[in-house]
Amino acid sequence: FSKGLGRNCFSYFTSSMQETAQTRMRLANDLREALSGRQLLVYYQPIVELASGAIHKAEALLRWRHPARGLVGPGDFIHIAEETGLIVDIGNWVFRQAAAQALRWRTAHHPAFQVSVNLSPAQFRGKAGARAPWIDNLRKLGLPGEGIVAEITEGLLLEASTAVFNQLLEFRDAKIQVALDDFGTGYSSLSYLQKFDIDYIKIDRSFVRNLKPAAHDLVLCEAMIVMAHKLGMKVIAEGVETEIQRDLLAAAGCDFGQGYLFSRPVPAGEFERLLSDSLTPPGPSAT
């Protein structure tokens, strides 16, 4: 079973080892149809300010409502989208959805609301010389760059290509924020944190999973938080599932948390309700 999809989830393959060339080709074709046939959806997972419990941001997470297979998570198809180059069109579509929601939620709920979007390294390569449409999209929508957080991984920074470097500079000029996803799991060359303008690190959930008082993972989280703050970055902890984890992270000074404790990723309409509840000041009970 894929993680995080609840009861309807379906794994395309029991193991990627069993993917034959044929199943991959079928999957690629299905995926092409999914994009044009409106089978792709974006779910949103709240990112909560630990000090207040308020929802400040959302991460946009791709889902595929497959006509025969039900709801499929990105772990089962993103790699095919990347290999076939479909990720460029899919990623642009996700970006437009996320930006439209960000604008809506900033207008209706919270003027500083942000939606974060996962960007694949393949989206930075694109076609030779082609500029990614991200910034034009924002301009057309009238959404300020601060409304979007681009989630990238350490691997992308390791590429250290001119294309990546220029894109990050473009983000900075447009005020699009940048988060380093799955932090601590890559080839953390810490010098990259200085070289690029990174606004957030997202502590990978493998560090959060076993958080206990006096656990080694707590020491690692504390060290990452102190380092990030000293470099002027904010910290989001991924995979927060228990109150103990939340409390330890909050005590360590972690700024934001994301995880099943707060909510699973949900469709936009449901997210909207979470957001209204989160921002409603606790008033006198209606008796």
Which residues contact ligand C2E (rule: CB under 6 A)? 3-4, 45, 61-62, 73-75, 78, 87, 91, 94, 118, 120, 151, 181-182, 205, 238-241, 258-260, 265
Minimum distance from CB of 116 to Mg ion (Å)? 7
> Which is it for the CA torsion 141, 268, 1, 205, positive or negative?
positive
CB closer to ligand C2E, 147 vs 265: 265
Nearest to 77 by CA among 126, 40, 132: 40
Among 76, 146, 181, 255, binds Mg ion (CB under 5 A): 181
CB closer to ligand C2E, 91 vs 147: 91
CB closer to ligand C2E, 150 vs 252: 150
| 123: contact with Mg ion by CB under 5 A | no
| 118: contact with Mg ion by CB under 5 A | yes
Radius of gyration of the chain (CA): 19
Residue 62 touches which member of Mg ion, ligand C2E, none, C-beta under 5-8 Å by kind: ligand C2E
Residue 61 touches which member of Mg ion, ligand C2E, none, C-beta under 5-8 Å by kind: ligand C2E
DSSP string for residues in 188-201: --THHHHHS---EE
Residue 114 touches which member of Mg ion, ligand C2E, none, C-beta under 5-8 Å by kind: none
Which residue of this chain has its Cβ atom nearest to ligand C2E in the complex? Answer: 259
Please list every residue from 190 through 209 that binds Mg ion, using CB under 5 A. 204
Among 151, 154, 199, 255, binds Mg ion (CB under 5 A): 151
CB closer to ligand C2E, 92 vs 161: 92
> Which residues form the interface with Mg ion (CB under 5 A)?
118, 151, 181-182, 204, 238
